[in-house]
Structure 1
Amino acid sequence: MDRLHLMTVFVAVGEAGSFAGAARRLGMSPPAVTRAIASLEARLGVKLLQRTTRYVRVTDAGQRYLDDARRIVAEVDEADEAVAGINAAPRGQLTVTAPVLFGKLYVMPGIVAYLQRYPQVAVSALFLDRVVNMLEEGVDVAVRIGPLPDSSLRAIKVGEVRRVLCAAPDYLAAHGVPAQPADLQAHTTIAATSVSPTVEWKFGPAGDTEAVRLQPRLLVTSNDSAIEAAKAGLGITRLLSYQVAGQLESGALQIVLPAYESAPLPIHIVHRESKYGSAKVRSFIDLMVARLRADKHLG
């Protein structure tokens, strides 16, 4: 069988975690998928998959091969698109990742607009509050908030956000407004662990920070929950400015200690280095860059 075809089948099995799932994805019969994997393992002389009646798992050698095969198949797809012309209509599968709340508020509207504009593209959106390994998880485009590590990935800055303290006006009227970070120890605080994994909040610019250790009355695992608790007047919380932009505009929340904010955090659109330009990736990035740079809450 054609080696590229075998790689494509193996990638589908590895990503789906089953022969049946890969068969549905590729429009093949399960026996044909099984024969392709057997042929590939025979060609390589290596066992790529551990399979039982209950699961299919990639072996250590198979995981290394899966990473390389995924990259090769993606580059061939991109080469096909490039040779068809730079103005070829975007098509195929696009995988995008972003933090949960940012994805909901800012990325999902862009995805909807993109899908409406390009009917031959399908999108998988991974909204997770962790850094996704783009190569290992087959992600084409990521939105990252915060400093970027050195890597081979390409990055386009589209805005920035700040860490802000905020509370409901009723709470501040009843308990007073803190004048300095140390005053927070006398207040009820709400901590979202996805933003503040410890109970130590730092204030001020890099190199001149002030740390305040707190005992929050409420610890939550989602930013939405922290926002709702703060709106209800429970106490003071610390979130990213985009997460509470609507509540600040409506007056449901107001910022506390703005003079002690730390340096803004950059927002980047990140994509994998590629020899060719994929039409689906290029067009999605162009759309998202324009939308995010135009948003007043991300400036």
Structure 2
Amino acid sequence: MDRLQAMSILIKVVELGSFSAASKSLNIPLPTLSRKISELENKLGIRLLHRTTRKLSLTDSGYDYIKACKSILEQVEEAESKAKGEYLEPRGDLVITAPVMFGRLYVLPIVIEFLSLYSNINVQLLLSDRNINLFEDDVDMAIRIGKLPDSTMIATQVGRMRMVTCASQLFLTNHRVIDSPYDLTQLSCISLSTAMTTPYWSYKIPDSELTAHIDILPRLTVNDNDSAVNAAIKGVGITQQLHYQVKEAVDKGDLNIILTEFEPDKIPIHLMHRTGKYLPQKIVNFLEFASPKLMNRLFELSC
């Protein structure tokens, strides 16, 4: 019995929530996959999974065991990478994730330049507005916008980003003067509906430590930033976005930034990677290459 293979299969079954999904993902026949899990349980003498017709879940013993499996497989992967020379020279596949628009504008140009310098490194750039799990999705590095939760990840801050409120000149001409965030409750707004957004907009009260949470009236709700920005340009309403998302429209005069004196604290941006006693050279080199370039780009944006 290949114990490491069985561990990998168990992890994939739990991650995907079913034997059939894991079978398709791993390209292993379903009977074979099911037998591998049963052999592992028999070897251990414990039940790892609760199986019903509707769902699959870990037993208490299974929960403890799968945590140990992940740690063991990570150490094996690290040992194999070290043996292949990834710890001695920059080589191999480097998987990076970043938010869609930020990745396209700021990360991709850096990746392209990086590839021109390191012929033995291949990069897979995953652009997604959800926070991809570095462990579960085998990702080496991530660019995160926002405050970081406590975790075992190593994070390098590369800058901070303004959160700005914008409207077109047409909209501002046709509506009353907006003197404070509380005026937004009476005006048409364009809101975002994503896993990362809140139902209110936050503002700082000048000359105080207070923060105001404004329940806006969404005239239009969309699930991507480009659509919100385009609707604001057309005069549909007011939108609150990260500065980089509206910079082009503001520079062209299509949007105006308002309520600047009430802007919330700038949002931190980090480069993150998984912990480990040793880091592959591909990660070390990308960190050293990308960090100062991102810092410079973000500093220019804040000026």
**TM-score category of the 2 structures, normalised to the smaller one:** 0.7 to 0.9
Cα distance, 1:40–1:119 mapped onto 2, change above 3 Å: farther
Query: Equivalent residue for 1:78?
Result: 78
Matches within 5 A, 1:120-139: 121=122, 123=124, 125=126, 127-129=128-130, 131-139=131-139
Matches within 5 A, 1:91-110: 91-92=92-93, 94-110=94-110
Give deviations 1:126-182, integer Å, cap 9, x for gaps: 6133x4444455443222222223332211001110110011122223335523223
In 1, Cα distance between equivalents of 2:98 and 2:218: 27
Query: Equivalent residue for 2:223?
Result: 221
Query: Equivalent residue for 1:41?
Result: 41
Task: Tell me if structure 1 keeps the 8 A contact 2:142–2:271.
Answer: yes
Count of matched residue positions in the alignment of Structure 1 and Structure 2 = 292
In 2, Cα distance between equivalents of 1:274 and 1:86: 12
Cα distance, 1:179–1:243 mapped onto 2, change above 3 Å: same
Cα distance, 1:273–1:35 mapped onto 2, change above 3 Å: same
Task: Tell me if structure 2 keeps the 8 A contact 1:230–1:236.
Answer: yes
Question: Cα RMSD over matched residues?
Answer: 3.6
Q: Structure 2 regions of 5+ residues with no counterpart?
A: none
Query: Equivalent residue for 1:269?
Result: 271
| AA aligned opposite 1:44 | L
- What is the Cα deviation at residue 238 of structure 1? 0.6
Q: Does 1:19 align with 2:23?
A: yes
Cα distance, 1:256–1:42 mapped onto 2, change above 3 Å: same
- What is the Cα deviation at residue 240 of structure 1? 0.9
TM-score (normalised: structure 1): 0.78
Give deviations 1:208-263, integer Å, cap 9, x for gaps: 22343332222223222211110111121111112112222222212111111111
Q: Structure 1 regions of 5+ residues with no counterpart?
A: none
In 1, Cα distance between equivalents of 2:120 and 2:270: 26
| AA aligned opposite 1:232 | K
- What is the Cα deviation at residue 110 of structure 1? 4.6
In 1, Cα distance between equivalents of 2:212 and 2:12: 50
| AA aligned opposite 2:280 | S
In 1, Cα distance between equivalents of 2:183 and 2:220: 18
Between 226-235 and 241-250, the greater mean CA deviation after superposition: 241-250
In 2, Cα distance between equivalents of 1:209 and 1:51: 48
Give deviations 1:192-221, integer Å, cap 9, x for gaps: 233652245433478222343332222223
- What is the Cα deviation at residue 106 of structure 1? 3.2
Cα distance, 1:287–1:58 mapped onto 2, change above 3 Å: farther
Cα distance, 1:118–1:79 mapped onto 2, change above 3 Å: farther
Between 236-245 and 214-223, the greater mean CA deviation after superposition: 214-223
Cα distance, 1:114–1:46 mapped onto 2, change above 3 Å: farther
TM-score (normalised: structure 2): 0.77
Query: Equivalent residue for 1:153?
Result: 153
**Identity between Structure 1 and Structure 2 (%):** 34
Task: Tell me if structure 1 keeps the 8 A contact 2:205–2:211.
Answer: yes
In 2, Cα distance between equivalents of 1:111 and 1:10: 34
Task: Tell me if structure 2 keeps the 8 A contact 1:231–1:253.
Answer: yes
Task: Tell me if structure 2 keeps the 8 A contact 1:18–1:55.
Answer: no
